[in-house]
Structure 1
């Protein structure tokens, strides 16, 4: 079939590059990693087909796809697992053209780790983690007792499921390498912080009709836009998860958070992620660690990129007024007979101008700056 042939050619193009890069960084690409790469290519192909974009599209960033597949292979995340461990989406990203202020737009594949993908990473790379057991979903009508501690002795939590009510907390039993068991707990109320971050990200390009876009907004318009954003975020903080039912906030919240059929699944996934992400991990390789840090939180990564690209770009003009001062007039000192006393300069005292010049020439910081400007050794 033409589709299969085209996809096979894509796999034959990318797979050898991924294996070579992993091998050069001391990572052996096993059979499962190859399967994860093939599954990722198939999933990315589905995203491109939905947007009617071919693999040969000039606007498609191929280097970004290579980097994404490298992360998939290093972390061993399977896009065809059920439930899936990783997902992909297409984004338009602006780049600055070399030697020009104009923006060049390219299409990039963005990778995100699903809840079960985080569990997979924890089981594979968790520090001192021997096994990750099935997590508990504690509901409103369940009977649950929190663990108690007496020094290093711990009494395990007790849970009696009822099967009814909203999920109010998630518990992860983790068996450590010394066979001790630790229980990590996340509360439903903590998901409000995830919702605030989600709304903040959706507000990134919002101008509320005050300006054509955020890049063309002047200082006064930016102040009004930021004030409006703060008002919305303060309202989300006040309402917590009740903000999901507020009609005024609906346009800033994605459907996955609001739709009845997916809202509870989203909240549970966020509770699980809040637990798994805070458990220490030891990747044993810098490439794998970087792949995880760049993919663990897509929203945080975009915000950091936004700050890096736009920080310190606005020129602030500050008007400095010189303080008004009157010159000090030295009053002459007189002898007893009324004649003025002539002040003599000490032989050890340098004239003021010469002294300042000497201090500048001997200043090591000044020498350092001169060497840096001249491009001397080490610069």
Structure 2
């Protein structure tokens, strides 16, 4: 990932705040610019020459790991089609500074398998970290220092199972908003938290844990629910995929619904589900009022549903999963599937018997 800085960037509606790193302590600054995700071929010799293969400019709200994952899929396809890799040759080797997040995005791609490896017929590409999957001593020390405050640890606990806005964190923990802002900055600087802009009102910011940084974190336990209901706006993609994934990976009862359901399930969602061995009913969309019952564990998998459901039917958890229908590409639906699968895997250890599984 690289950033092109520009003096007029702060006046552009497409600007993105980019971090530049100073050479001394506390000299990191944020400036407006245009970040690009770059894929380059590293020379095998002793010099550091590189051959650019692909470059994509990030737009406001883009997830860098998702964009890069799409690039890698395209580049591997192109290299194989161009004959740059032949059967019997060594695996392609992909080196990245966000290898764990890339592996999560790529894990459920139809041409991949679990783990940090992207598979194609006769070929696979190994995804490895630029730092050999270990944090530097300084980075690890920042993580431990950030978690050394009880208030910050409480914020991390609150975000373990779902996303929340700073205001929701403040209300849930009974903490002043200015103090929450301070603690969130410390956690973000340590690489523990990320921020996304709401796809609903576009004003709220939701916080989420960065996958993998706290791989040993024990999530708070969930109990007291016999069924899980996933809710999004249209009930045409994310909630449908989440319910099918839950039944496959967790077992037990799971349903889906929408606050403004579409007439049919999105064809790309049906196709993605089929490619992963899941079945969706193309006509099986439902309104939340017709599905949710007392005692259900309600999980909102989109920002609009989370913000709309403020009455008696209120989500217990919120997963801020981008709407793949906005982009309407196979890659967007694959990315939504991968994120939902990762979220469900992360929540599984927190389930008590009876909490939405049999």
- TM-score bucket (shorter structure): under 0.3
Greater C-alpha radius of gyration: 1
The structure with the largest helix share of the pair is 1
Using the size of structure 1 for normalisation, the TM-score is: 0.23
TM normalised by structure 2 equals 0.24
